């Protein structure tokens, strides 16, 4: 069964460093999302992406964050200058069409020291 994959599974970085989290969506899916979950807290929406542009972003998704599909298959989330409070599990999700369910990847655990 097709699934969303994410790499790396765990990323440790120093505060102020740039990180790129990668997602490979299910092929033929057109809508892409990033969510995050700080330990012990709710899953929070970050950004939605369709047709090579951002559809919506939350207040968390500030200028330090960016998303792109660099090669038409991978979907990436970049954090330019990480902060301690960026430590969280980051989930990529994809959807085939507007009436379909979202499928989530296994997540990348980001630890900022």
**Would you say how long the chain is, in residues?**
113
**Is the distance from CB of 36 to CB of 91 less than 8 angstroms?**
yes
Give min distance, CB of 48 to other proteins, in A.
5
The residue among 20 and 104 lying less far from other proteins, judged by its C-beta, is 104
Give min distance, CB of 81 to other proteins, in A.
26
Which 26-85 positions form the footprint of other proteins (CB under 8 A)? 31, 33, 35, 42-45, 48, 50, 55-56, 58
Which of the ranges 17-25, 62-70, 74-82, 100-108 carries the binding residues for other proteins, by CB under 8 A?
Answer: 100-108
The residue among 14 and 28 lying less far from other proteins, judged by its C-beta, is 28
Give the C-alpha distances (Å, rounded to integers) separating 113 from 16, 21, 71, 81, 106: 9, 17, 31, 12, 22
Q: Quick one: the chain helix, strand, coil %, rounded to 5?
A: 5, 50, 45
């Amino acid at each position: 069964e097709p699934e969303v994959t994410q790499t790396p599974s765990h990323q440790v970085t120093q505060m102020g460093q740039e990180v790129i989290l990668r997602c490979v969506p299910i092929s033929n899916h057109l809508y892409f999302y990033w969510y995050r979950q700080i330990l012990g807290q709710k899953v929070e929406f970050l950004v939605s992406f369709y047709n090579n542009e951002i559809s919506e972003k939350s207040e968390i998704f500030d200028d330090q964050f960016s998303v792109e599909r660099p090669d038409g298959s991978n979907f990436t989330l970049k954090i330019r200058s990480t902060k301690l409070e960026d430590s969280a599990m980051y989930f990529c999700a994809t959807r085939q069409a507007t009436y379909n369910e979202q499928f989530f990847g296994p997540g990348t655990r980001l630890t900022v020291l």
